[in-house]
Amino acid sequence: MGAGVVADRSQAVAEPTLGEDGLYHQSWFLQSFLDLREDLESAAASSKRLAIMWELRGCPYCRETHLVNFADADISKYVRDNFEVLQLNLIGSRRVTDFDRQELSEKDLAQKYGIRFTPTFQFFPPSPDGLEAKEAMAREVARAPGYLKPRHFLAMFRFVRERAYERGSFRDFLAANG
């Protein structure tokens, strides 16, 4: 019976693949030239928001995010419909152009933004306007450091999409929305 449940789930949501970099990859994650301003503008043009998912090879909670949270068809659909998710490696060497046009390795960008845990999701405003003048940490509208159980995970994406951060904290949003 358990195998049938898994089979049904895999039909509803594509299975992530384990890449050579040791990270799980979703087929619908943003394929990017790693220019954050362009990624945010592109997301906005599609009426979506930009989220960065920071991961690390061997991270058990990153794996859980992919195999549990993103395996939930409702969560996966909501995130895909409303967000562009850019996957970055906490200790990666790929070159990323930040909103202020500074080009850094993934590792140095993570340090610039104070990313210390994986998975961490960073969420940015709907437009890049004015972002380059802000300090790095002030560019985010929300952050989810560490693993969130599926219910809270979906709530975090709703919190950002609904711009609830303009009215209060994530904790307040959870209290008001069960």
Mean pLDDT on 90-119: 97
Q: How far apart are CA 15 and CA 39, in angstroms?
A: 24
* 111-134 confidence digits (pLDDT tens): 999 999 999 999 999 999 999 999
Model pLDDT, residue 19:
87
* 29-87 confidence digits (pLDDT tens): 999 999 999 999 999 999 999 999 999 999 999 999 999 999 999 999 999 999 999 99
Model pLDDT, residue 2:
40
Q: How far apart are CA 131 and CA 15, in angstroms?
A: 35
Token pair, residue 109, equals 């960008």
